[in-house]
Amino acid sequence: MTDLGHDPDDAIALAYLIEHNKIPDAIVLSPGFPQQVQIARGILLEYNVTWPTVIVAQDKQLCGGYHPGKHQALMITDGEADMSLTHEKFQYFQEQEALIIGPAKNLGNKLRCQKMVFQGGYSPNSICPLDKFEKREAVQSFNPSGSKNNFNQLLESPDIKERFYVGKNVCHGFTKEQLQRQWEPANDKMYQFWTRLKGTKAMHDVLAAQCFLDQEIGIWEQAKPKWIGNKMTTESTTDYTYSLIGIK
């Protein structure tokens, strides 16, 4: 699930998954604007991917009000948006794995999976804390706050066996410069898009994608996100919920 188009690292994360032979069975778009469908389909066409199905995450079709970011506006699109699929189709994707790199609109009580990796939350116990989060007990986090009720449902759902949260104080320190030492897009159009991003651009969603492919790259604590008002921290837990505190 992604809010593709609002931040360029969503597009890079999708390219990363495809280039690592982890083509999604479904892409759920939040909130599901037609332009987001165009961008998603454009990326898939660049990689000659005819599957997955693009699924819109809203109850009804949206027709306006969307303005892609300056980087995302340069992305290849196919000029069409198939809005016939809605989040209702998501009930058919069960007992698999889910990567969520956007607000989980309309998904809180519909997701059933063995493993969920969610980009969002906060990691106050980071083993390499970032200066900007020094001595901060709780911070705001975009993806959880973007659909708080759905986030809370995912956090407590008995239908999700394991939960992994990639939060601030770790992901904010993972930049394009660091990712570049490991990988760059092989596809020409995606590489052109990639080169427009500054080296200091945080790759939050790509780090989540890496953790989705291999949890062993991360250092985790058995802890779950916790709200303090509209901000987030973590608390210890005995269930199968983990928060990222470092990268190996």
DSSP states along 196-221? TS-TT-B-HHHHHHHHHH-GGGEEEE
pLDDT value at residue 14? 96
Q: How far is CA 65 from CA 35, 72, 122, 142, in A?
A: 10, 16, 30, 19
The rounded distance, in Å, linking the Cα atoms of 68 and 6 is: 6
pLDDT, averaged across the chain:
88
The letter for the amino acid at 217 is I
Q: Quick: pLDDT tens for 134-149.
A: 889 999 999 999 999 9
Torsion angle in degrees (nearest 10) through CA of 49, 31, 6, 84:
30
Contact 114, 93 (CB under 8 A): no
| Domain annotation for the chain: domains and CATH numbers | 8-247 (3.90.245.10)
- Residue 76's CB is within 10 A of a number of other CB atoms, namely 17
Q: How far is CA 225 from CA 41, 95, 156, 184, 222, in A?
A: 33, 23, 11, 31, 10
* Poorest-pLDDT segment among 37-51, 91-105, 211-225: 91-105
Answer whether residue 33 shows pLDDT above 90.
Answer: no
The first and second tokens of residue 181, run together, are: 């030492």
The rounded distance, in Å, linking the Cα atoms of 4 and 2 is: 5
Q: Quick: pLDDT tens for 55-100.
A: 776 655 555 556 666 556 556 676 666 665 544 555 545 668 999 9
Average pLDDT over residues 144-158: 95
